[in-house]
Structure 1
Amino acid sequence: MRNIDNLTIHRFRGLRDLTLEDLGQINLLVGVNNSGKTSVLEAIYTYCNPLDPLEWINTAWRREIKFSRKSKLESLKWLFPQNSDNNPDDFYQGETFVSGSGNFGVVESKATYEEFEGIWDTTENINEEYDQESLIDEIDIDNNEIRCGADLKLTFTPPEKIIELLKDENKDISISKKFKIWENQPLTTLNEYKSYWLLVDTVTPFSHRIEQLQI
């Protein structure tokens, strides 16, 4: 059975260098409100889905009621460490880093997020490498409109036995994918390498109301 044995959350939301050791089949996180319990679960979820931008966005949105959610970009940004000294007029840049060990195919997961302004041409397929059958339809906007967006780079490092296989195939030992995230841009899921990952799901006390497919 696949499992996580040890996990270190180096940077994720407000968490820094938090280590969880000797994890078992059942683990309890206990703490007062706003102590970071949900952030730990979010770090684990993204660590187990290191190259799937939709899972990262869904993780960012899971705290919020569906009809009152923040924007996709704003929610995604809050998965990354925030610095109160940053000028709010500057474009945000942040990085997450989680590492661990266990009986599955991820040793390290890193992500970088960089905001920008640019022109999104809706006739251009920005993420053309992904499976079009997995397309998630969102609201269209006018062509060539200047909008806020973000560059999202997701990277994971597999364990040694998989690294040896990738070397045989002349592939890099760290696997990265880059995405341009726009507020109303369709996104696609990425199935490549997913067989290495750990299947996880998050069920909250109110999941039956906002995400009925979880029940």
Structure 2
Amino acid sequence: MRDKRIASKKKNNKTVKGIILIIAFLFFTGSCAVTRDRIETPYQVYREKGIASWYGEDFNGRPTASGEIYDMYGLTAAHRTLPLQTNVRVTNLENGKSVDVKINDRGPFVNGRIIDLSYGAAKVLDMVDAGTSMVGVEVINGSRDFEAKADKGVFTVQVGSFAVRENAEKLAERLNREYGGAYITLYETNSKKFNRVRVGNFKTLEEAQGFVNKLERKNFTSFVARKD
């Protein structure tokens, strides 16, 4: 009888230990699950590399896309898609020189270029004489708020720019036949006028870029621009 009680007691002890181990395991895995849920995706800093150009006297004193008057001697820049008032660091990859500028305008509206610098910024980077240079661009006031804004807004796709209005109208007519939503905007510098042919109003940068890819398959050269 005594042996049975001992055996029963040992069995009960094993059962209790088993329950304790299960509870401890569930608590541990539950704690780990909570920890994983709290881990946030690290903020991805905006960076790009490409060709920079600069613009000067022909635009000096004219309103920028932000409404500010362009000062060619200031430290500003034009970008096609970054939100206005974004601060970026531009590094001349050919000589290592850097400058911090504020995005207050739209451009460059030349395929293959990523940023248009003020004369003042280009001078700091020692690229005035060259006209263009390979640069790195990095957002320096980055935050999750910027990350949310960068891909949201209203975007359009520019397909051409013409000094002669008639040529712009011909392209717009063709695009309207094939895709719809084409329109012409007039842009003036101190000495020239440009008739820009654009298509669409897209809610995200990704959607606009998808349309650019679609146009490329039809041999159109185009790029995305933010509408402000």
TM-score (norm 2): 0.27
More strand by share: 2
Which structure's relative contact order is higher, taking Cα pairs within 8 Å and 6+ residues apart?
A: 1
TM-score (norm 1): 0.28
